[in-house]
Structure 1
């Protein structure tokens, strides 16, 4: 399935039906009178967050969505049926933004079953029965239905994942996510093998987490160089970042700083997220060279540096242990904060 994380669509709610002009005409009934019913309400535009979708590709082929209008009123004080609401299903993590200069956020769809009425349908007009009075016995006035609303909106998908994989192109991110999850990401010995985000479910010691792999970052990515800047939004919601540095390349400290600078320049709190740092492709480096690069990277970053190899699975379990610990702690703190309780329990 093709991945699409942005789409622009036109939405319009239904107009209300007109009120009716009608007069009672029944055999053997001495007095008639106005009996025009009200028009029906127009349909709403409703967005619903559903499970099982991970792309906005459906909105590439269908970009106009219009709800039905309400039916007109009828005689015998019969109101017209309301127009059917239009339900638009979107993946979890979809943001709906206004089509203005600032792309103002309207609603953030973050949980399955969440619904948002974006546009209300127009109300139905009143029939002539509402206009009768002691001085106006046969009114022919009626109220037309109120028009619906319409607008262009942007849909932007931000994947919901526990762990975000970051690093320069060809750092071994796709190989790592293939080794620890059910994903079959493309692997190749050239830059930008990954052209779209990949999601994988990692099962480790009876626990699970979702991992997202995004295209590699190069210098200037936050300003649009390469393709990584477009997909950085997919790791804004991650609880922890796993930063892979290719151990087979020279200058691991400069490589690490380049990616960190791009995360900081992008914003969105990416540079403040917990980070686990690991040297990848360690099977391609001699033990002496690996030890020197690890020592230099630990001194520059001020944190522990793991050494891993997706090909031999060396060092992967300790990294997964750490990821499970941090991701679980972040989830527990978020849950406690929602309850108003600062306490959390470890995994």
Structure 2
């Protein structure tokens, strides 16, 4: 049996960028070919797209992990790596996207609406792009950046023209199955309907949608039962219809008290999104009352008895029977008139324009803070990104990183804060010992590829030193023999 899922948590992981390539052009009769390493490809992003053919979040319930492909590594001869393909994930109309803290990220309404849930990482630069006056043939390349990885909550709010409201077993599911092609589960016990059912109703040449919301009980607006989950699906309904069971045998219940109890819950409930609040509070939406089960004689008499009291409220009233199909045609056309009037009263919606938030290119802000243990923490988008791009197995790449940090002002800030030689400095996931005597931010005399003269420090005794030491020992032994 198909399941309806209206709230899931997905784990989105965008693709990582490909690494750059460190290559030198080698060709006969061209001894100075120069660097020709290509850049890495961009990682694929995860994009949520509204698809009218998708009506539930069931797929994410069984497959919550969404992973986009990564970019490819660059190659020699200035060949850039292939970019990862963006992964388009189809979601139903009315999907709301929330972050880990519950903050609203996107409200996806309308076919084709798109939202980038996780951005792919940028590819690393190859050594051809890193060549400069100081480094004419870099022996290193930058690593690709990791893609965004985040947990997102997807909530579905049913987008329907008419929402059926009523106590459990009032006949809402039977009504939807009778006036549309929808086939919800119908039984004679409370809370048969646990998920909303959506049906398309034809009124002559016109069509509108009807949502069968699971039964509500007093206290639903405060979370009693599953009230909040059910009321969420009414936020975007243009017309609300009270379906009243006129044949109930429960003591203390009658059509008037049932409607008053549900009206109190609708008035107490507040939509969670500002865009839904713009439709008006649930208490202000157009109303209609459906007196159901009039095929039973006692129910027919009760409907005629309460009708004058309900007419005083100014709401359209329809007496129907889903068993004998009595009164269904006037109900269908009456609801269409209310939906058409509501649509005509709404302002014309302009197509939503895509919101572009460019990343600042010259963002130089960073902070250096003591960690309380003699070390320092460097925070900032650029320093942390540079750390992730650096291959620490390559001395030349480490020297290039030191030059970038020095030009940014990290070295000067550490001196102002009184950093001592050997102090631990943490940037991102990397911790290293600070050595202020190592020159940074200045032109470096080129040495071998992948090396940096400023980092070539070793305590190992060389062959020349060992020969000199042996010579001195021999001379000292000869002097002692004399």
Shift of the alpha carbon at 1:274?
A: 0.7
Shift of the alpha carbon at 1:288?
A: 4.3
1:98 equivalent in alignment to 2:99: yes
TM-score w.r.t. the length of structure 1 is 0.91
Match of 1:345 in 2: none
Give the aligned length.
336
1:162 and 1:304 map into 2 onto residues whose CA distance is 16
SS at match of 2:348: helix
Compared with structure 1, are the counterparts of its residues 72 and 177 closer, same or farther at alpha carbon in structure 2 (3 Å cutoff)? same
Q: Out of 23-32 and 225-234, give the one that drifted further.
A: 225-234
1:42 and 1:154 map into 2 onto residues whose CA distance is 23
SS at match of 1:282: coil
Q: Out of 243-252 and 3-12, give the one that drifted further.
A: 243-252
Are the equivalent residues in 2 in contact too, given 1:252–1:297 (CA < 8 A)?
no
1:152 and 1:189 map into 2 onto residues whose CA distance is 40
Decide which structure has the larger Cα Rg and report it.
2
1:14 equivalent in alignment to 2:18: no
1:201 and 1:131 map into 2 onto residues whose CA distance is 60
Deviation digits for residues 201-237 of structure 1 (CA, Å, limit 9, x no counterpart): 1112221111110111111122232334312211211
1:294 equivalent in alignment to 2:295: no
What is the 5 A alignment of 1:184-223?
184-223=183-222
Compared with structure 1, are the counterparts of its residues 231 and 129 closer, same or farther at alpha carbon in structure 2 (3 Å cutoff)? same
2:301 and 2:69 map into 1 onto residues whose CA distance is 71
Compared with structure 1, are the counterparts of its residues 158 and 337 closer, same or farther at alpha carbon in structure 2 (3 Å cutoff)? closer
Compared with structure 1, are the counterparts of its residues 197 and 60 closer, same or farther at alpha carbon in structure 2 (3 Å cutoff)? same
Q: Let me know the Cα RMSD of the aligned residues.
A: 1.9
Which residue among 273, 286, 296 is the counterpart of 1:284? 296
1:86 equivalent in alignment to 2:81: no
Are the equivalent residues in 2 in contact too, given 1:20–1:126 (CA < 8 A)?
yes
Shift of the alpha carbon at 1:14?
A: 1.4
2:209 and 2:110 map into 1 onto residues whose CA distance is 15
1:307 and 1:320 map into 2 onto residues whose CA distance is 12
1:320 equivalent in alignment to 2:332: yes
1:27 equivalent in alignment to 2:28: yes
TM-score w.r.t. the length of structure 2 is 0.66
Deviation digits for residues 140-192 of structure 1 (CA, Å, limit 9, x no counterpart): 23222122111100111112211110011111111211221112222222211
Are the equivalent residues in 2 in contact too, given 1:282–1:290 (CA < 8 A)?
yes
Shift of the alpha carbon at 1:338?
A: 4.0
Shift of the alpha carbon at 1:304?
A: 4.0
1:123 and 1:48 map into 2 onto residues whose CA distance is 23
Are the equivalent residues in 1 in contact too, given 2:287–2:315 (CA < 8 A)?
no
Deviation digits for residues 79-114 of structure 1 (CA, Å, limit 9, x no counterpart): 1111122221112221111121xx222112222222
Shift of the alpha carbon at 1:63?
A: 1.1
- Higher relative CO (Cα under 8 Å, sequence separation at least 6) belongs to 1
Compared with structure 1, are the counterparts of its residues 338 and 147 closer, same or farther at alpha carbon in structure 2 (3 Å cutoff)? closer
1:253 equivalent in alignment to 2:256: yes
Match of 2:159 in 1: 160
2:91 and 2:140 map into 1 onto residues whose CA distance is 43
Match of 2:74 in 1: 73
Q: Out of 287-296 and 306-315, give the one that drifted further.
A: 287-296
Q: Out of 51-60 and 126-135, give the one that drifted further.
A: 126-135
Deviation digits for residues 251-270 of structure 1 (CA, Å, limit 9, x no counterpart): 22111111111112222222
Are the equivalent residues in 1 in contact too, given 2:35–2:137 (CA < 8 A)?
yes
For structure 2, which runs of at least 5 residues remain unmatched after alignment? 272-280, 352-482
Are the equivalent residues in 2 in contact too, given 1:247–1:285 (CA < 8 A)?
no
SS at match of 1:15: coil
2:145 and 2:348 map into 1 onto residues whose CA distance is 46
Match of 1:173 in 2: 172
Match of 2:270 in 1: 267
